[in-house]
Each structure stands twice: as C-alpha cells, then as structure tokens.
Amino acid sequence: MPDLTLHHSENQHPRMSLRTKLLALINVVLVGSLVLGLAADYRHGLSTRLEDKRVSLNEEAALLLPAIQRLQEHGADAVQQFIDQACARMQSTTSPGHHIAVDIEGRTLQAQIHHRASSQFIEVMRRSTDNQRDHVAIGGHTLVVGADHEDHVHVYVSEFTSNILTEARHGLLARAAGGILLGLALAAVINLVLLRLVTRPVSRLVKTVRRIGHGELGLGTSRFSTAELDELAREISAMSRSLADNDQRRRLQMRKARNIQQHLLPDTERLKQFGIFYSHGPAEEVGGDFFDAQIGNPDRLLICLGDVTGHGVPAAMGAAMLKALFDHSAQQYNTPGDMIHHMNQRFCDITLDGDFASLAVLMLDRTTCQLTYVSAGHEPGYVLHGDGRITKLGATEILLGVVDHIEGAEQTVSLEPGDRIVLLTDGLVETMNAGKQLFGRDTLVQILRDHDQASSEELIHILADKADAHRGACPVLDDVTLVVVLV
C-alpha cells in the first residue's frame, strides 16, 4: 500500500561557484582601485601639466619683457609689430590659441595676427594673473596664462589648454589600457591559482561525495596540498568508512528481518497440497504485505491477506502485528466478520495515529462450496468460474485503523468445484511504467480471461511477468502479493 505521508520539495536554484565569486570579488576590487587610481592620477597629471605650462608661459613673458621695454622707445607700432611676429612664430598645433598682450603705461596692445584681440580676452588674462588661477574660461575655451611685469610694462602670454587636456586624456587611456592588461594578467594568474588550489580539489571532493551518495560506501579520497581541504578530505573518508560500516550492520539486520518475515509466511509446499498457491515480493528488503492460511481440515480453509501502509521496516512491523492478531482471532472466533472486528479493535489500540491497513479474511467451505469473506478496504479479489465468468470480490468495510469499531459485514459467494479465487495486494495493479501509466484492474481482468486455462501456479507467474514487463526499467514502488486458491 502506498505511503500516505505528504512530502514537500524545495526548488533548487543554480548557485555561483566559489571560483567565480572570488574572481568577481577580486575583479570588483581591482576595477574600483583602477578607476580611483586613474581618476586621481588624471587630476594630478592635469594639474601638473597646467602648472608646467603656466611656468613656461611665465618664462616666455619674462623673455619678451626686456625687448618690449626697449621697443617702447620706438613707439607703439614697433611693439605691435614685435608681438605680432612673436605670436606668428608659434604653431597652432603645438601652441593652440597662443596670444600675447601688453599693458604699457595704461595702453593695451594685443597680437592681431590670429584675430583674438578683444577687451574681453585681455580682461580674462588680467583676472587670471591677479587671482593666481591655473586656468580660466573664455568663449568655450580654457586658457592658461603666464605674465611678467616691470615698472609700468605688463606682458601677458596665454594658450588654450586643449593640447594639455588631450595629452592628459591620452595618458589616462594609456594607463587605463596598461591597468586593464595588468588586471587581465592578474585575473588569469588568480584564476589559475584558484583552479589549482580550490576548483579542482573541490570538484574531486564533490565527485567523491556524489559517488558515496550513490552507494559507493567506504570510498576515500586522496590527500591535498592545503591543510583545510586535506582535513575535509580526511573527514569525508572517515564519514564514508563509517557509512560503510553502518550499512553493513544495517544489511545484516535487514537480512535477519527478511528471514523473520519469510518465516512468518506459511509453507509454500504444504499449501500447494491444499490447492493454495502464492507469491510474495516486498519492494524493499522487508515489506508491509501479510498473508496467512490456516487449514483446520482439507475442506475448511481460512485465508487472510493484508497490506499495511508504507514500506520497509515500519510496514513489516505492522504486518507481523497483523499476523499475531490473525492467529489470536482465528482461535477465538468462528466467522470472518468477528475476526476482523476484533483485529481492528486491537490494531487501533496498539498502532500510531495515521497507521492503516487493508485486510481481507476469507473462509472457504469446500463441502458446501460457500465462500464467506470480509474485505476492510482491501484490493478487490476475483473468482474465476469454470464457465469463464469472473466475479469481483469488492470491499465490505473501511480500512483497519480508521475507526476503532467496524461491524465486520460479511459477503457470501456460491462457488463450484474447479472455480478459483484470485487475491492480490494493490502493488500489482498500481505498478507504474515510465509514462506514469498504471497496470490497472482492467488489464488484470483481461489477463485472467486470456489465461483462464492456465494452472494456478502458472497464472501467478503470468501476472507477475506481465506486471514486470509493464514496469520496464522503473523501480518497484510497492509490495506485491498474489494468491490463487482452487475450490
């Protein structure tokens, strides 16, 4: 009988590997450091270049000042011609926006050759000098200004900062490229180190643990170069050995439990002498199906077939308990109804809440060919009549363990010599294939019709083989017990 316990599963979300997390963290730190470093370097480099240019322009102004002082004796035209010639010699590619202006005793002269002369331009140059600023803006351009003066003569020299900004940006790009290459090289080295020291060892450990989980108990793993992983490997190996030892003890205990359960079943060869044939196949080492037959004389048979919920040891304990209850009830009561009534009361008294069992008790009187039975929620049985008819033996009561009192309602079926009674547990009809399709009762009935001439023993083998063929490579999910009784 299937386990009625509900199971809940958690969704497994893909997780990032340790190596990926470490690389991501390292790369974030590297990129952040690179960005901050480049920003600071760019600001420092730009400030240095602007200061160098201002010093250079101051030196140029200092060189022009003596010449202008001498030329002022020859008049303003001579000074104008001189500053125009000086400005013309400066190339726009190397000194963009180069401009010279002179204040001589209240009169202002500006180089005219590049058509930059304006009152706004000279005012900006004066302001920059007065405020000691590295650069000032005018007309969408940024200027850096140098100056020198003596007596009443002031010389101003300026240039656009476009070349300086371009050089600073080129330097930034070069350093960024270098930083990226260095970061890639560092990431590659770290990746190789992590691959060697973390990823591969952890993958080996994961494979070992997975193999242990798949049943290779006792499997160990080799040593590692790092202390932490080596300690983990030793613990995994120790765990594997411990699991192997425990599994060996469990197997010995389960083998003994299986032998005990087999011993509780009636003797196959003896039952054959009375026309009773059966097969018992637990889904695990032990199971929850229970079968017994008591023969007072060859003409009076008492048969009991039960199925406890669940599988394995708990179900086997329930089946053993049903065996004891059946033996006691058969000695105390004379009818299947009274027997199952008593068995249900005792079952409710000694089992846990939520433990249930299906049970069918049948009494066959061969002298009268009368079958009296009670079915407490058990899988239907069938009568194969000699004329080819099939009669279904349905349930007459609810499962054992649901309520502590059941009436034990009986059904009586008239049979003929040569008829056969087929009993089974639900593990047969609930056999499932890879497509989740059940073997089903309709298939069972059709097989009974198609093989109604087979012997009782052959019929059991045919049903078992058909169920195995239907299941294919899928695992056995429930215990299967088959019984055929010749009337």
pLDDT tens across 7-60, in order?
A: 444 555 677 777 777 778 877 888 888 888 888 888 888 888 888 888 888 999
Strand partners, 372: 363, 412
Query: Which segments of 225-292 does DSSP mark as H helices, in order?
Result: 227-264, 268-272
Q: Looking at the domain assignment, is residue 326 inside a domain?
A: yes
459 band by pLDDT with thresholds 50, 70 and 90: very high
For residue 92, the model assigns a pLDDT of 64
For residue 453, the model assigns a pLDDT of 92
Residues 253, 314 share a domain: no
Q: Looking at the domain assignment, is residue 379 inside a domain?
A: yes
Residues 358, 231 share a domain: no
Residues 338, 253 share a domain: no
Residues 332, 223 share a domain: no
Residues 351, 239 share a domain: no
Residues 435, 297 share a domain: yes
For residue 6, the model assigns a pLDDT of 47
Q: Looking at the domain assignment, is residue 163 inside a domain?
A: yes
Among 132, 167, 202, give the residue marking a domain's end: 167
For residues 302 and 96, give the distance between their C-alpha atoms in angstroms, rounded to a whole number.
Answer: 117
174 band by pLDDT with thresholds 50, 70 and 90: confident
Q: Looking at the domain assignment, is residue 309 inside a domain?
A: yes
Query: Which segments of 279-371 does DSSP mark as H helices, in order?
Result: 312-332, 336-350
Whether the per-residue pLDDT at 139 is higher than 90: the answer is: no
Residues 230, 147 share a domain: no
Residues 257, 357 share a domain: no
Q: Looking at the 3D structure of the chain, how many domains does it have? A: 3
* Pairing assessment for the beta strands 370-376 and 411-414 based on DSSP bridges: antiparallel
What is the span of the domain harbouring residue 230?
Answer: 215-264
- Asked if residues 462 and 425 have their Cβ atoms less than 8 Å apart, the reply is no
Q: Kindly state the helix (H) or strand (E) to which residue 86 belongs, with its residue range.
A: helix 76-88
Whether the per-residue pLDDT at 152 is higher than 80: the answer is: yes
Residues 256, 303 share a domain: no
303 band by pLDDT with thresholds 50, 70 and 90: very high
Those residues with Cβ within 8 angstroms of residue 446's Cβ, 6 or more apart along the chain or in another chain: none
Q: Looking at the domain assignment, is residue 197 inside a domain?
A: no
Average pLDDT on 161-187 reads 82
Q: How confident is the model over 234-272, as pLDDT tens digits?
A: 898 999 999 999 989 988 988 898 888 888 899 999 999
Those residues with Cβ within 8 angstroms of residue 158's Cβ, 6 or more apart along the chain or in another chain: 57, 97, 98, 99, 101, 125, 128, 143, 144, 145, 146
Average pLDDT on 365-385 reads 96
Percent of the chain with pLDDT over 70: 95
Q: Looking at the domain assignment, is residue 194 inside a domain?
A: no
Whether the per-residue pLDDT at 5 is higher than 60: the answer is: no
- Select from 320, 438, 323 the least CA-distant residue to 379: 438
Q: Looking at the domain assignment, is residue 332 inside a domain?
A: yes
For residues 205 and 236, give the distance between their C-alpha atoms in angstroms, rounded to a whole number.
Answer: 8
Q: What is the mean pLDDT of the chain?
A: 88
pTM: 0.61
Residues 406, 429 share a domain: yes
Average pLDDT on 338-355 reads 93
Q: Looking at the domain assignment, is residue 193 inside a domain?
A: no
For residue 12, the model assigns a pLDDT of 59
